[in-house]
Structure formats: structure tokens, C-alpha cells
């Protein structure tokens, strides 16, 4: 009996782990994740930011205070460092429920749709009572992570917290940093609206930071003081901030800088901690003694810009002037230095030296050398050797031609180069059966040492380009070279690329890229043959991803290609490259072109449907009076449920630009 009970407990635990894994939590979003080292996150210097940290500590334990605290501030005022320090303090006290640090340097960490599932997952690991309540929800709706943010908040946060209230630690806080760095503004607005609706009754508090972007500011400032506390970092008395910055400079530079120069540097920093942090990195050359020439260059620089970015712009210009126009560099090396900077700020995630080399056409050893002068604006992680920007204010500066002038990065033009390089890397590194799988009779999950094979066979560079070539294409300027590269890729390497994203379990990302290319090709006046090839490729990959053959990568060739409709350009292009492939004939194959790609469960009976002009989304009106908007490539909810009707929704339609849509209902109402 004891043995059977133990077996039961093990089975239950595995069952629970399976449900929690289904939330697809973003581990790298935790405040102290490995990514935090890549992006150089750190705590405040001791005895700095004392007032705001004390205010946060008091708010976190005072039950009479609102359950939402919004700290906003201009770029560079130290929001993330304060949030990190606060999260660290909460962790020490045992009251950190969860953390999600958004960042532009990671696709996962800028996806607003991943915030709520990740918070729910972390809360489940923290609290057994919350875990039990959450598992009951997941048993009823295992795909809740794919539903709207509104539904996620209600089912994954509010419902479990309400049921587990009595068994949870008092004073729990969830920390969400840099909400403005999420890519979906609509999602950010939704998450804020829901927070203010559900948090007053919950036994948990939320600390949120962001820049004072108009949409976010209006949403939060519209709330009464009973619903939220607020702190504006750039409005804190300048003398207090300067004192903290001076203390930080003193701690970092010690006696290597005179008192006069240290105070002057503090005044130049104003209320921007990022100015001080960047200046320190520049004049100390990555941990060495202070470079007096560099210190003098900063202290003697004077900005003639009459705008709120003047100080930080002048500092960035000083650093780039010295790095790019170093007298020891020839013209080619100067161009290469700028290319490295542009590539780092255009990269969709942190990249290693080899990847920067492949994307710029510069040898990795040369990249390593030229990076030495850029450590004050680019961060190279000592733990992972990944390169990323130190602060969001630097890409902002580089992408603004009025601010960066001669250093300006034309994102469309540079993305064109990156797209071409991506196609070159895939041409060089993609190959048939890249991981040497011996049989198609077992699923990938049963292949011994598969992860080790993937690590050996799929380089970080190939992994990056396989997941982001489409991102660079859609951002690129009109170019025949990119169109030719795309056509050649779809014609000769599509299936090899599918192997990589299938083995990496990131097919959704691949399908999303193919879907995003459709409107790009239309705008770029591509040939009808290329548009058809892209569409057939999207259908082929989507069918593979929706079927059970997804479990075994070799079935891309054995099953997916064999069952592809003979009129498909994918079938025509690749059928001749195979041997002994099944040849299927009859009515099943004749009708397969119009067969369902997948079956998606809907929340109610569907009455009306309309696709957006670029076909990336579709709207459905339901009998329960709601309207949902779905992602076309995977059927997940993009927006909704949208309420307001009281009867069947019989008509939905998008505006020509795809920004608005209208719904008509039996109750006589039309909503836009």
C-alpha cells in the first residue's frame, strides 16, 4: 500500500509538472536570471536611492496602501536598477512572489502575452496553496496561455489567488520592470486595465516600472489615488539625485579621480544614472585604471543641443567619436567599428562575437579587437560572451538621425544587409538531417543525447539567423538582393530550415515569420510566383506544425512532403530531391489542398468571420455576444473577448488599413 501511494504521489507530481510546463514560462525574465548578466543588470550602489527604496519597502508592508505602485522615469534615470534592488530585498525577506523584467534584447522578454503565465508559474513555485488552485484551472483549460490577456489575468491570477488567499504569505509583491519595452502596445494597455480591475481584492501587490509613455501614463494617471501609488524619478529633487550619483561615482572611481573632477562629473550626469554608469565604463576601460585623457574629454565636452536628450547625446557622441575615429584605425576599421555597433542595436536578441562577425562579414578575432573601444555602450557578458546594448537609451539615440547625426543607423538599410547575411549563413550551414537522426520510427523526445547533438550541429550563429532572418527581411529597405535571397531560400533550403526550428521546438516563431512576410512582399511589388511560393511554404510549415508528425523531425520529408498537394510549389520544388518517397493518389490527395490546417477550439459558437487586410489576423463574432481577434498562423487570441453586444454577432469587418474593425449584432448595435 505504501508503495502504491508513493507511485500515486510521483504520478501526481509529474502530472502537475506537465500542466505547469504548459504555461511556457519565460525563465529569462526573472530579475536574477542568466540574461540579467548578459544585459548587465545590477543592484544600486550601497546607500544610494535610499529614499525611494524606503518608500517601496513601506508600501509593500502597508495594507492600507494601494495594491499597484507605478514608478516611472525618463530613459536612464535608474528604473531597472531600483527594481532589481527592490526585488532582491523582497527575495531576502521571503515576499517576492514573482518578477518579470521586460527587455527589448529578448523576444520572449518583450512579449506581453508571456507576462501573466510566467507570473502564475513563479507564484505556483512559491506557494503550495496557489499551486493547487492553479492546477485546478489548468486541468479545466490547459490552453489558457493562448487566450487573451484579460482571460489569463482572470483565470491564472485572480481565480487561484482568491481561492488560495488564506494559505498564502502576507505581503507578497510581484515586480514587473520596463513594461514600455514590450512590443505590443495594445497588450500593455490591456494588462494595466485588468490589473486595476482585479488587484483591489487580491492578497498581493504589483510594482510596475516604465517610461512615462503617453498610453501607459494616461491609463495609470486616470486611476484614483486609492488604486495606485506613483513615483516619478525624474521629478525627484535634483540635488538628492546628484548626491546619489556622486556617491555612486565615488564608490566606483575611488581615489583615481580628483574631488573636483568627481563633483563635475556628477553635475554633468544631472539626474541620469545611465550617464554616470556609461562615463565610468568609458574612462575606466573595463576595470583598468582611469584613463585621464578620456576623463578630460568628457569633462571638457559641452553640448550645444537644446533638448532634453542633450547631456546623454553628448556623452554618446564623445564615446563614439573616440571609438570610431581612433587615429590608430584605418578607414576600413572605422567602418567596421560602426557596423558592429549598428549590428548590435539591430540584433533581435543578445548575440556572440562569432554571430556579429557573420552578420557583418568581419572576422571574429577582428570583432573582438574592435569591441574593446565600445564597452561603454555595448555590454559583453563575461559569463556567456553575449553582446547587447547596455541601455535602451543608446538604440534610441542611434536610430534618431537628428540626435546621432554622423553615427546614425538607418535601420531599414542595415536590416537589408543583415537579411542578406542571414541567407548566406543558412546557405553555408544548413544541411539535410543536420543532427544525424538515424531513424524516423521514434519521436525526437526519445532520441538519446538529442540536446547534445543540437548543440554540436546547430551553431549559435545558425540558431540566431534561423529564428530572425524574417525579422530582418520585414524591416529592410526595398532591395532585389533580399528578394532573390528569399526566393532561393524558399526554393532550396526551406526543409533544412524546418529541421532547425522543429528540433529547437520553435516552429511557431518560424510560421510567424513566414506570415509576416506576406504583406512585406506585397508592398515590395514582388512577382506573383514568389508570393505564391511564400504562401505555399507557409501552408506547408503550418500543416506540419499542426499534425502529429511534428513529434519526429525526419517526417518533414517522409510524411509532410509526401502528403503535400501535388500542385503546391513546395512539392514541385522538393519532390525531385528525394528518393523512394511515397506517392499518394486518389480523392484524398486531390482534396487535401483545401483540407483543414488544424482544428482550433472556440469559446462559443462562431457566426461571422473576417480576415485583416494583411491576413495576419482574423476576427470572429460569436453567439454569446463577444468578438475575438486571433493570430492567423496559430489560432491564439490576439485580442478579446471584446464585449458590448447583448445578442448574436452576425457581422465583423476590418478597415482597409487593418487598424480598426466593426461588429454588427442582432440587438441592433454596431461597435467599432
pLDDT at site 2:
47
Angstrom CA distances, 154 to 2, 41, 78, 120, 160, stand at 39, 31, 32, 11, 9
Tell me the pLDDT tens digit for each residue of 130-172.
999 999 999 888 888 888 888 899 999 999 999 998 888 888 9
Angstrom CA distances, 106 to 35, 39, 84, 327, 493, stand at 9, 10, 18, 35, 26
Query: What is the phi/psi pair of residue 98, to 5°?
Result: -170, 160
CATH code given to domain 21-234? 3.40.50.300
Angstrom CA distances, 191 to 24, 152, 195, 660, stand at 18, 10, 6, 20
pLDDT at site 411:
95
Tell me the pLDDT tens digit for each residue of 21-76.
889 899 999 999 988 888 888 899 888 888 899 999 999 999 899 999 998 887 77
Query: What is the phi/psi pair of residue 615, to 5°?
Result: 65, 15
Cell numbers placing 226: 486609492
pLDDT at site 594:
44
- CB count within 10 Å of CB 533 equals 23
pLDDT at site 8:
44
For the CA atoms of 39, 41, 45, 47, the dihedral, rounded to the nearest 10 degrees, stands at: 150
Cα separation, 472 vs 654, in Å, equals 27
Cell numbers placing 491: 526554393
- Is the Cβ–Cβ distance between 345 and 418 less than 8 Å? no
pLDDT at site 237:
63
pLDDT at site 513:
92
Q: Where are the domains of the chain?
A: 21-234, 237-288, 411-594, 606-671
Cα separation, 74 vs 232, in Å, equals 9
CA 142 to chain centre: 23
Cα separation, 197 vs 207, in Å, equals 15
pLDDT at site 305:
42
Cα separation, 524 vs 537, in Å, equals 19
What's the 3-state SS for 264-303? HHHHHHCCCHHHHHHHHHHHHCCCCCCCHHHHHHHHHCCC
Nearest partner of 488 among 541, 422, 439, judged by Cα? 422
pLDDT at site 471:
95
Cα separation, 432 vs 557, in Å, equals 10
Cα separation, 348 vs 474, in Å, equals 13
Would residue 449 be called left, alpha or beta, if left means φ above 0 and alpha means ψ between -120 and 50 degrees? Answer: left
Cα separation, 530 vs 286, in Å, equals 49
Cα separation, 619 vs 638, in Å, equals 10
Angstrom CA distances, 215 to 193, 212, 229, 437, stand at 11, 8, 18, 50
Cα separation, 376 vs 283, in Å, equals 9
- Is the Cβ–Cβ distance between 274 and 75 less than 8 Å? yes
- Is the Cβ–Cβ distance between 388 and 379 less than 8 Å? yes
- Is the Cβ–Cβ distance between 291 and 285 less than 8 Å? yes
Q: With a cut of 50, which residues of the chain have pLDDT below it? A: 1-8, 303-306, 589, 594-596
Which residue blocks in 432-506 are alpha helix, DSSP H? Answer: 450-457, 460-475, 480-492, 494-503
What's the 3-state SS for 139-171? HHCCCHHHCCHHHHHHHHHHHHHHHHHHHCCCC
DSSP string, 223-263: S-TTT-EEEEGGGS-HHHHHHHHHHHHHHHHGGGS-HHHHH
Cell numbers placing 425: 549563413
Residues, the chain? 672
Nearest partner of 553 among 431, 426, 440, 436, judged by Cα? 440
Residue listed under C-alpha cell 525579422: 471
Cell numbers placing 134: 492553479
Cα separation, 130 vs 120, in Å, equals 9
Cα separation, 155 vs 603, in Å, equals 14
Amino acid at each position: 500500500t505504501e508503495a502504491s501511494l508513493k507511485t500515486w504521489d510521483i504520478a501526481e507530481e509529474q502530472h502537475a509538472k506537465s500542466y505547469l510546463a504548459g504555461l511556457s514560462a519565460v525563465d529569462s525574465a526573472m530579475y536574477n536570471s542568466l540574461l540579467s548578466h548578459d544585459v548587465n543588470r545590477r543592484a544600486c550602489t550601497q546607500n544610494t536611492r535610499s529614499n525611494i527604496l524606503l518608500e517601496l519597502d513601506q508600501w509593500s508592508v502597508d495594507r492600507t496602501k494601494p495594491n499597484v505602485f507605478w514608478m516611472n522615469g525618463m530613459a536612464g534615470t535608474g528604473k531597472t536598477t531600483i527594481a532589481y534592488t527592490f526585488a532582491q530585498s523582497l527575495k531576502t525577506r521571503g515576499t517576492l512572489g514573482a518578477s518579470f523584467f521586460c527587455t527589448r534584447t529578448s523576444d520572449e522578454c518583450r512579449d506581453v502575452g508571456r507576462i501573466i503565465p510566467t507570473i502564475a508559474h513563479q507564484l505556483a513555485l512559491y506557494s503550495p496553496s496557489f499551486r493547487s488552485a492553479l492546477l485546478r484551472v489548468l486541468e479545466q483549460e490547459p490552453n489558457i496561455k493562448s487566450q487573451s490577456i484579460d482571460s489569463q489575468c482572470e483565470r491564472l491570477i485572480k481565480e487561484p489567488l482568491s481561492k488560495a488567499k488564506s494559505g498564502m504569505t502576507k505581503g507578497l509583491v510581484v515586480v514587473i520592470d520596463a513594461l514600455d519595452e514590450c512590443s505590443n502596445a495594445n497588450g500593455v494597455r490591456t494588462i494595466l486595465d485588468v490589473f486595476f480591475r482585479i488587484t483591489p481584492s487580491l492578497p498581493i501587490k504589483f510594482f510596475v516600472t516604465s517610461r512615462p509613455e503617453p498610453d501607459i501614463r494616461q491609463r495609470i494617471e486616470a486611476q484614483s489615488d486609492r488604486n495606485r501609488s506613483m513615483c516619478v524619478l525624474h521629478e525627484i529633487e535634483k540635488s538628492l539625485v546628484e548626491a546619489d550619483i556622486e556617491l555612486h561615482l565615488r564608490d566606483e572611481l575611488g581615489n583615481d579621480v580628483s574631488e573636483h573632477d568627481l563633483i563635475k562629473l556628477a553635475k554633468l550626469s544631472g539626474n541620469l544614472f545611465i550617464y554616470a554608469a556609461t562615463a565610468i565604463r568609458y574612462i575606466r576601460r573595463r576595470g583598468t585604471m582611469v584613463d585621464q585623457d578620456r576623463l578630460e574629454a568628457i569633462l571638457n565636452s559641452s553640448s550645444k543641443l537644446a533638448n532634453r536628450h542633450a547631456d546623454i547625446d553628448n556623452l554618446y557622441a564623445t564615446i563614439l567619436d573616440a571609438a570610431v575615429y581612433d587615429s590608430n584605425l584605418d578607414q576600413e576599421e572605422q567602418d567596421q567599428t560602426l557596423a558592429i555597433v549598428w549590428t548590435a542595436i539591430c540584433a533581435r536578441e543578445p548575440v556572440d562575437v562569432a554571430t556579429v562577425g557573420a552578420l557583418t562579414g568581419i572576422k571574429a578575432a577582428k570583432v573582438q579587437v574592435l569591441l574593446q573601444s565600445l564597452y561603454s555602450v555595448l555590454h559583453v557578458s563575461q559569463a556567456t560572451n553575449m553582446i547587447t546594448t547596455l541601455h535602451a537609451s543608446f538604440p534610441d539615440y542611434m536610430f534618431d538621425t537628428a540626435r546621432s547625426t554622423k553615427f546614425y543607423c538607418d535601420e531599414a538599410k542595415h536590416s537589408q544587409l543583415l537579411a542578406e547575411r542571414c541567407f548566406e549563413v543558412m546557405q553555408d550551414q544548413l544541411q539535410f538531417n543536420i543532427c544525424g537522426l538515424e531513424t524516423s520510427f521514434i519521436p525526437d523526445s526519445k532520441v538519446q543525447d538529442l540536446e547534445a547533438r543540437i548543440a554540436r550541429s546547430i551553431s549559435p550563429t545558425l540558431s540566431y539567423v534561423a529564428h530572425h532572418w524574417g525579422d530582418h527581411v520585414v524591416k529592410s529597405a526595398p532591395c532585389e538582393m533580399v528578394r532573390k535571397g528569399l526566393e532561393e531560400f524558399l526554393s532550396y533550403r526551406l526543409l533544412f530550415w524546418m529541421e532547425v526550428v522543429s528540433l529547437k521546438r520553435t516552429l511557431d516563431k518560424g510560421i510567424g515569420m513566414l506570415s509576416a512576410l506576406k504583406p512585406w512582399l506585397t508592398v515590395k511589388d514582388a512577382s506573383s510566383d514568389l508570393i505564391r511560393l511564400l504562401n505555399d511554404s507557409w501552408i506547408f510549415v503550418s500543416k506540419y506544425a499542426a499534425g502529429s508528425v511534428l513529434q519526429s523531425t525526419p517526417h518533414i520529408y517522409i510524411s509532410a512532403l509526401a502528403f503535400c498537394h501535388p500542385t503546391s510549389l513546395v512539392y514541385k520544388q522538393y519532390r525531385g530531391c528525394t528518393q523512394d518517397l511515397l506517392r499518394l493518389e486518389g480523392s484524398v490527395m486531390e482534396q487535401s489542398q483545401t483540407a483543414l490546417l488544424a482544428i482550433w477550439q472556440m469559446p462559443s459558437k462562431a457566426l461571422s468571420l473576417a480576415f485583416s487586410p494583411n491576413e495576419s489576423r482574423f476576427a470572429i463574432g460569436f453567439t454569446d455576444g463577444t468578438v475575438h481577434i486571433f493570430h492567423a498562423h496559430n489560432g491564439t487570441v490576439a485580442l478579446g473577448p471584446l464585449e458590448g453586444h447583448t445578442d448574436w454577432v452576425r457581422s465583423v469587418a476590418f478597415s482597409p488599413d487593418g487598424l480598426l474593425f466593426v461588429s454588427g449584432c442582432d440587438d441592433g448595435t454596431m461597435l467599432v
